[in-house]
A = this chain, B = another copy of it.
Amino acid sequence: MAEGEFEFIARRLRPLAAGTPGALRLLDDAALLDPPEGAQLVLTKDAMVAGVHFLADDPAAQIGQKLLRVNLSDLAAMGAEPIGYLLSIARQRETSEAWLESFCRGLAEDQAEFGIGLLGGDTVSTPGPVTLSLTAIGQVPRGQALLRSTAEEGDDLYVSGTLGDGALGLKVLLGELSLNAAATVFLADRYRRPQPRLALGRALRGLAHAAIDISDGLLADLGHVLEASDLGAEVWADRLPLSLAAREAADAALEAALAGGDDYELLFTVPADRRAKVVRLASELELPLTRIGRLDVMPGLRVLDADGQPIHLDRTGWTHF
């Protein structure tokens, strides 16, 4: 480890760990964590590569926040509450101090927002693109984690928030789609700073049969639930919740909502006799929860239009099942 990396840890990362007792001020080989009583730990790890998972000219503060939030979204999908995280940064010699300062400032803001702290990690040099990896740790009451494999026949299918915004935001940022200024700003922010649905995930414990977060696209992620639960589903395309900004994109909006990915909304299944509870929950959380389909035992996944006719798509999202 070059001297610059010790300094980086001392100057940039130690302040992020200051409020995390188990981080031991990042002075030790590893972090110490007191496991919560009566809980299971939930662990997830996601990596991001510059130019692949984020744009090299994205604001550095938002890159750190996106990395943290996509991991927190995985915790939300299991119904877990976040505890802390570990971070690996592979940075280039050319990575500027200003970039690193902004990256860490973004993390500090999100730590405050989500009530968590840095537990540990490391920093290395790379001749390639900046590569980030984050491990998030959460807790869930024993036996109450939401899984993908426990959906049941007849369950209603719901999503939170609106779909397709992240994928459209990326298109806008890449110059592949041109929209008005308000829509551009809204969609770019949805792409760069997804909102992990932690409060929703907690509330779905004991209410939903199964849950997943939408990172690969609605159809792909629903496919994971169907595969794990050995069920089929129909999805009602005209019910998909679209933001006003997404509607500006016309036809591209439906495609983004079905197969775009980068939504980080929760997709969950609930038995039909609990519909009133879902309506109440949406009101409590001030978050749209939209019923978009139904699970059944017919293998496969059918997307239906407003007349109940199947829509055929040939998108990445379809190839997984």
Residues of A within 8 A of B (CB): 1-3, 6, 22, 24, 27-36, 39-49, 51-53, 73-75, 77-78, 80, 86-88, 90, 119-122, 124-129, 131, 133, 135-138, 140, 142, 145, 147-149, 212-213, 215-216, 220, 224, 227-228, 316, 319-320
Contacts and interface: CB of A to CB of B under 8 A. Distances in A.
Shortest 4 CB-CB contacts between residues of A and residues of B: A128-B128, A35-B35, A30-B44, A133-B133
B131 A128 contact: yes
A15 B53 CA distance: 27
B224 A27 contact: yes
A43 B127 contact: no
A88 B133 contact: yes
A31 B147 CA distance: 10
B90 A216 contact: no
A292 to B, nearest CB: 20
Nearest to A229: B27
Given A49-B128, A52-B127, 4 more contacts: A29-B75, A29-B148, A47-B122, A49-B124
A190 to B, nearest CB: 19
Contact of A30 (B74, B129, B216): B74
A29 to B, nearest CB: 4
A138 B120 CA distance: 14
A22 B44 CA distance: 12
Contacts of A316: 2-3
A41 B41 contact: yes
Contacts of A80: 30
Contacts of A125: 49, 52
